[in-house]
Amino acid sequence: MITIVCGGFFGDEGKGKVAGYLGLRGGYSASIRTGSVNAGHTLTYRGRVWKLRLVPSAFINKDIRLFIARGSLIRIDTLLKEIEETETRGRICVDRYSGVIEKRHVEMEALDEKLRSIGSTFQGVGAATAERVLRRLKLAWEFREIEDLLCDSSPEILDMIERGEEILVEGTQGLFLSLYHGTYPYVTSRDTSAAGILSEIGAGPKHVDQVIVVFKSFVTRVGEGPLEGEISPEDAEKLGLIERGTVTGRLRRVAPFNIELARKAVRINSATQVAITKLDALYREARGVREWGKLPREARRFIEDLEERIGVPITLIGTGEDVEDMIDLRKEKL
Ligand code: IMP
Ligand code: MG
């Protein structure tokens, strides 16, 4: 069956870390990445750090097969570089019908005033998506440089599911950046909901049994658009909540955890589990803790209160950068 990992706020919730952890401890045979290069996942594992824009975060488990989805958009140079950095050649494949972003798409976006006004990452993703809709975009099979990486991902994944294997699907960005369900026009060029993610890989809703919505212990947003309860960069700095974008290096805007948005994200994504990352940003003594009982009392209360208000079990709690800095309550709660 399929597990979908998706973001519940505006991206940068820590999906990479959660997907990496599940890669190690989830019993998955394969992981498939959706979305495109505007979204970056930072992964820290045993002293190494990767900034991933295409390779699935579960690559850290060498026994997992890796796919890039048919509905995703790749950049050839980024892909080849990441495959080298992650040493995944031989177990990663790219769907032959995934779209390819070229230099010209980046150049087209650079001149676009509308994109400037929403704070785009200017990675060419929207421009390439528009061409795909107009049926002008070149697809992966048209590029010789990646000939040896191509596959038909959907039938391969469906075969694995039919054999009873578990598949991890890594979404990108967050629900409120969704083209349909987000804060339009301050959104990205795709549907970032669990259903949208699923449509990119070529499997049906009945193949999904777990949807894990990831929230950070506070909200961040890069680019323009509404952000309720936004606090000044100075205050964010004082509270230790300053972050920068993985792809663009931009300072992220900061707001407190938003329960109303979280509830909405849980409902629209039909979440079966919730992951909360960066608990240590709110409670310093939570840093690196890997057992529920060792969390400070206030941190436990924060999680219990959230769980009650969200109405879905909080099964994974991140307490530090490393993939393994995680409290895993799946056995107790599912
Ligand atoms: P674009 O999709 O790159 O054009 O960006 C549109 C909006 O989505 C901008 O506000 C970006 O900052 C935001 N955005 C796109 N991808 C990500 C991401 O991975 N994390 C956070 N924000 C993103
Ligand atoms: Mg990110």
Residue 289: predicted pLDDT: 98
Task: Give the rounded percent of residues in the chain with a pLDDT score beyond 70.
Answer: 100
Which residues approach ligand 1 with their CB closer than 6 A?
A: 10-12, 38-39, 115, 118-121, 123, 125-126, 172-173, 177, 186, 188-189, 222-223
- Determine whether 63 is an active site residue: no
The closest ligand to the CA of 252 turns out to be 1
**What three-state secondary structure class fits 235?**
helix
| Residue of minimum CA distance from atom 5 in ligand 1 | 120
Strand pairing category for 314-318 and 273-277 = parallel
CB 103 within 8 A of CB 125: no
The closest ligand to the CA of 52 turns out to be 2
Residue 39: predicted pLDDT: 84
Best of 34, 188, 248 for a ligand 1 pocket test (most atoms within 8 Å of beta carbon) = 188
Distance 316 CA to ligand 1 centre (A): 25
Residue 25: predicted pLDDT: 96
Cis amide linkage into residue 256, ω under 30° from 0: no
249 CB-contact burial (10 Å; exposed 0-12 / middle 13-18 / buried 19+): exposed
The domains found in the chain, sorted by start residue, are 2-95+153-333 (3.40.440.10)
Residue 180: predicted pLDDT: 98
Amino acid at 118: I
Residue 181: predicted pLDDT: 98
DSSP 8-class letter at 88:
-
Strand pairing category for 253-256 and 218-221 = antiparallel
Q: Among the residues of the chain, which ranges form H helices?
A: 15-25, 76-86, 103-110, 113-118, 125-133, 153-162, 194-201, 233-239, 259-268, 279-282, 297-310, 330-333
- Residue 151: which residues within 8 A CB-CB, separation 6 or more? 67, 93, 94, 95, 96
> Mind listing the pLDDT tens digit for each residue in 50-109?
999 999 999 999 999 999 999 999 999 999 999 999 999 999 999 999 999 999 999 999
Distance 252 CA to ligand 2 centre (A): 10
Distance 300 CA to ligand 1 centre (A): 32
pLDDT in tens, the chain (334 residues): 999 999 999 999 999 999 999 999 999 999 999 999 998 889 999 999 999 999 999 999 999 999 999 999 999 999 999 999 999 999 999 999 999 999 999 999 999 999 999 999 999 999 999 999 999 999 999 999 999 999 999 999 999 999 999 999 999 999 999 999 999 999 999 999 999 999 999 999 999 999 999 999 999 999 999 999 999 999 999 999 999 887 788 899 999 999 999 999 999 999 999 999 999 999 999 999 999 999 999 999 999 999 999 999 999 999 999 999 999 999 999 9
Closest CA to 307 of 285, 291, 329, 289: 329
Q: How far is CA 17 from the centre of its chain?
A: 9
| Residue of minimum CA distance from atom 8 in ligand 1 | 188
Residue 134: predicted pLDDT: 98
Best of 6, 38, 115 for a ligand 1 pocket test (most atoms within 8 Å of beta carbon) = 38
- Determine whether 41 is an active site residue: yes
CB 71 within 8 A of CB 200: yes
Residue 41: predicted pLDDT: 87
Distance 88 CA to ligand 1 centre (A): 27
CB 278 within 8 A of CB 9: no
